[in-house]
Amino acid sequence: MYVLVDIGNTRVKLGLVDTNSRTRLPLTLACPHTDLSPIGTWLSQHLTQPVTGAIGVNVASEALAAQVQAVLHAHGIPAIHWQTGDTPYQHLHNRYQHPERLGADRWVSAIGLQTHAPTTAFLHVSFGTATTVDAIVPYDDAHEFKGGLILPGPQLMQHALSQNTARLGAEDGALQDFPNHTAAAIHSGIAAAQAGAVVRQWLITHQATGHAPQVFCSGGGKPLVEDELHQSFARMRQLTALALPDPRWFDTPTLDGLAILTNHLA
């Protein structure tokens, strides 16, 4: 078996790949940085084959990566092969100005999602602690990672308003076209800002390629943005002749990309 490790800004996710078939098993663990104890239990339950290797990405601290590695080592798992934003992959070309500075999770997620759009352009929108909106477009017989936006994620926006203003609380609100109370105004404003960033990049990518890109979404901010994103795309279809697609949601594109990259391991 191969162990997949995705250390994000707030959570650690694990997955497994069958050694023989090199296919990812439908098993995922997610735990917060503050409590890694579920990892040992999960590994004990699901490691049904000898572990050949481990592969991962880390966008958090080196100290946390060392803690995760220590837990894995206690279960006989070898050192994690950490992937970076400039990890070579023959089917995807990195056009970042400094490829090594691209977040490893963004790069590996693009690899994981590429199989869902083998010949077309797509956006990957990750609504996490930060929201990223990346454009991946066809290039010869492969794709190229063009780059994208980074902005505060939905929860971070909400936290910033509640912590840095005197009269704006953190109470839950509803999505409204014309919000008439503060909670709805905050909820709708955050959702609109997130969706607006996606629409902007969709239009730019469409203009650059001449084709309507697909939209793939992931991340824990889904409950705050899903309805607004759907409505924004629906309005654009009604008001223009543009063929905006329905966004598709994926739970673990980074783990999917890591599973593909296990083929590069000995």
Residue entry with tokens 């840095």: 164
Decide if 218 contacts 250 (C-beta within 8 A): yes
6, 105, 134, 256: which is the annotated catalytic residue? 105
Rounded CA separation 167/67 (Å): 40
CA–CA–CA angle 228, 233, 237 (5° rounding)? 145
Decide if 3 contacts 77 (C-beta within 8 A): yes
Q: φ, ψ for residue 125 (rounded to 5)?
A: -115, 115
- Helices 222-239 and 154-164: crossing angle, nearest 10°? 110
Cα 220–chain centre separation:
9
Active-site residue, 18 included? no
Alpha carbon of 261 to those of 68, 108, 173, 204, 255: distances in Å?
A: 20, 8, 41, 30, 10
Ordered alpha helix ranges (H), the chain: 37-46, 62-73, 104-113, 154-164, 182-209, 222-239, 253-261
CA–CA–CA angle 181, 153, 59 (5° rounding)? 160
Known catalytic residues? 105
